[in-house]
Amino acid sequence: MKLLFLGAGSAFSLKNYQPNLIIEHNGKRLLVDAGGDIRFSLRDVGLSSNDIDTVYITHLHNDHIGGMEYIAFTTYFNPNKGKPRIFCHKLLVEDLWSHSLKGGLSSVQGKILNIYDYFDVHALNIDDEFEWEGISFSMVSAIHVFNGYSTIPTFGLRFVSPAGNKVFLTSDTQFTPDHLAEHYKEADIIIQDCETTPFRTEVHANFDDLKTLPDSIKKNMLLWHYQDNVVSNFEEWQNKAHENGFRGFVSKGEVIEL
């Protein structure tokens, strides 16, 4: 099994692509999120939508679902490609279609379609696990954006590789160490949302806050979803990450063998 980081940048990165990755095992590929630049990030590693059999969606921001129309159309009109599977929390399915995809996908020549015409949709409860290529995945609720009334549904992932590596992907999250403590402690590899600009959006964990975590957690932590200021001075930021006890920043196109 391997992890292929198609992108490692923030939502508005111009240098590093958006934070989408592929989990590859047994010749199959599970895409975790499909942002608006997914067709380019796939192309750069020699792949296309036809090489993706399953998509997991963490939440509904554009850098995580903006490329789903591309995946839908290019697979729907390929007679040799079956429907890709989607796994996501059940709270996301209706909004994914009605508020994000319906405008572009609902009408093709002579037909009115819905999300189930394009994808094999698996809507999950928070306590559900899903299986892909013999590996069980579980969702982890993240605290990302609170709109004044409720927290928008956002879900990271936990899984154990065939070699026994315990992997935790936070998805987009505020700095909430108490909320994520159990998952941090159990993981061998943590893929952590990390904001690197001096001004704070308050909806992503900032590097300066993450520095305060225990060394036992930081040594397993890979940082991504960072801004282009890191790309411009990557060696300097990587040294800073190592000096502060982190495993380091992930690079666009990096492959990690599990």
Instruction: Give the H or E element holding residue 121.
Output: strand 120-124
Fold of 2-257: Metallo-beta-lactamase; Chain A (3.60.15)
Q: How many residues does the chain have?
A: 258
Question: What local confidence, expressed as pLDDT, does residue 246 receive?
Answer: 98
Q: Could you read off the pLDDT of 47-96 as tens digits, one per residue? A: 999 999 999 999 999 999 999 999 999 999 999 999 999 999 999 999 99
Nearest CA among 107, 113, 65 for reference residue 89: 65
In contact, 104 and 65? CB cutoff 8 Å? no
Confidence of residue 29 (pLDDT cuts 50, 70, 90): very high
Q: Stretch 106-132: mean pLDDT, rounded?
A: 97
Nearest CA among 227, 91, 218, 200 for reference residue 151: 91
Q: Could you read off the pLDDT of 207-240 as tens digits, one per residue? A: 999 999 999 999 999 999 999 999 999 999 999 9
Provide the greatest CA pair distance for the chain. 60
Confidence of residue 189 (pLDDT cuts 50, 70, 90): very high
The token duo for 234 is 């990557």
The three-class DSSP label of residue 221 is strand
Q: Tell me the pLDDT of the chain averaged across its residues.
A: 97
pLDDT at 178 over 90: yes
Q: Could you read off the pLDDT of 123-169 as tens digits, one per residue? A: 999 999 999 999 999 999 999 999 999 999 999 999 999 999 999 99
Sort strands 166-169 and 129-132 into parallel, antiparallel or unpaired. Answer: unpaired
Confidence of residue 198 (pLDDT cuts 50, 70, 90): confident
The rounded distance, in Å, linking the Cα atoms of 40 and 33 is 14
- Give residue 52's identity as a one-letter amino acid code: I
The rounded distance, in Å, linking the Cα atoms of 100 and 95 is 7
Q: For residue 67, with 0-12 CB atoms within 10 Å meaning exposed, 13-18 middle and 19 or more buried, which class applies?
A: buried
The rounded distance, in Å, linking the Cα atoms of 22 and 210 is 25
The pTM assigned to this predicted structure is 0.97
Distances in whole angstroms, Cα of residue 63 to Cα of each of 22, 32, 107, 257:
15, 11, 24, 25
Give the DSSP letter string of 180-203.
HHHHHHH-SEEEEE-B-SSS--SS
